[in-house]
Structure 1
Amino acid sequence: MAVSDRLPLAGYRVLDFGWVIAGPIVGAILADLGAEVIKVESRQRVDASRRGRPITGENVQQGDQGLHPDLIPMFHAVNRNKLSITVNLADPVARELILKLVPKVDAVIENFAPGVLQRLRLAYEDLVRVKPDLVMLSLSATGQYGPLRDVRTYAPSVSSLAGLESLVGYQGDEVLGMTGANFADPTAGLFASFAVMAALYHRNETGVGQYIDMAQVEAITCLSGEAILDYSMNGRVAEPQGNHDLLMSPHNFYRCAGDDEWAAIAIAGEDEWQGFCRALGNPAWTQDPRFADRAGRQEHEAQ
């Protein structure tokens, strides 16, 4: 038996309309787990992550002048282990081809803005007519039906909308945010892949498919659960905390001798604190009453 036959999703087939990063990550995870994933693109408008930044040289003899796709590593990273087809989704013939393929798949995933598949007549209500037990995921930025459904955005502003960006920075200083990282994309993709697998399990148990309307912003918001709960219960507004930790102390990067030399120290409990003190040779300052317990060390961590 081949290794691929022993993977948990071996025998499942997925139609992947994923676009850029968040949607394709869902398909990549399902493919890693053994599913046959077929990526669908339009030749007239290939996945934007194929194109990326043009690679050019100093003269016309060097570089590709931005004419050739597939040079961006991210595209290959999030579309690994997939099959691929190109169709002009605006063409009625292509639509019929997709409708013939859907009965042969277990799940369909997409992360277009709300309304795109409806205009192409390839929305869930169209597909479920030819595949009644279909599992379909729509992973738009803010959901299909809510008051923010028309917001078109990418990962950096999704995490801003979720409030996560406001927690990144140093205490008492300007909020830094995620400094351009597309943190929201892989996070939403990971959450969504589990949602699809749960729906497939449910279908196996009941014979009933599901439509999953998942907003990327909801996946990111749940990462701020402590801050949300603290505000709900205590009225405290969370602020950036730099490299500090709400429970561990000391917990930070500390400058050492030398040019740009640093040590990362993270002490979780009393045993670790005592071990840390022994490693330093139990200097006199470790006996300071201010550092006698975790609460005191946290209050006076700056010292």
Structure 2
Amino acid sequence: MRLRCAVLDDFQNIATTVADWSPVRDQVEITTFTEHFTDEDRLATALADFDIVVTLRERVPFRAPLLDRLPRLKLLIASGMRNSSIDYAAAERNGVTVCGTKSSSTPPVELTWALLLGLARGIVTENNALREGGPWQSTVGADLHGRRLGLLGLGKIGGLVARVGLAFGMEVVAWSQNLTKERADEVGVQLAASKEELLESGDFVSVHLKLSDRTRGLLGAPELALMKPSAYLVNTSRAAIVDQDALLAALREDRIAGAGVDVFDIEPLPADHPMRSAPRLLATPHLGYVSENNYRTYYGQAVEDIQAFLGGSPVRLLG
């Protein structure tokens, strides 16, 4: 009897074509789900007969209550090598092996700049006007050269975003609770004296921090109030770092020039979610990691994880 493998959130329906699953098809039956499960009861019912689950990023929480309802589950594969939505202790208690895959930092860097440039030059507004017979030129672009880019976080992704900013001739400053002058010097950027100084002086502010107890809600109403009315905020990191209600209020009240957002408190966004209609918001449906090469890596290495598990020597263990 073959094992059964569920692939979750395969929105583009490409998981089984972007990678070669033939090495495991003799032993494993693959089922992909193109719709997201928003209800834990429905999810538990759908996964009840599966031995293996491949989950996409951190969209589906695998907490103890869910894992306790999946006695057949033996292998859980997460895309990426860090996943805060999995209860590893509960997985171990239930006899579930958790493995990961590699994930490239390049796609979220590129999307950050797509959002920032789209905001600065009014790309969506001008494109819509051109297609719909609207005014010929209705916006005045915000220049990048000579402007200040403030980065909250200067890790792998933040460092790459910084280098692009420098290539545009921007003045780049960075801050995080653990950022050192040595790291800032290594990247070639300035170390901001404080979070407040970065927010007050930045023409563009971009978030590149890990979500933790220290960063959750890091940018709330008081922090957003420090930003200049002409400044733009970009968040391709984690939704919970920026207070979403405070951001919506800042946009509606015209207290910042605009925001580019790729992450949300609920994903996928409900049809009536206020982020869908917020003014001066350039939003994308969590595309930061969605690229051909990343998907090849995610699903190609998911196949490798399954092979290794079946062979009795799991690889890329998480927990």
> TM-score if structure 2 supplies the norm length?
0.31
Higher relative contact order (CA 8 A, sep 6+): 2
TM-score, reference length from structure 1? 0.32
Larger radius of gyration: 1
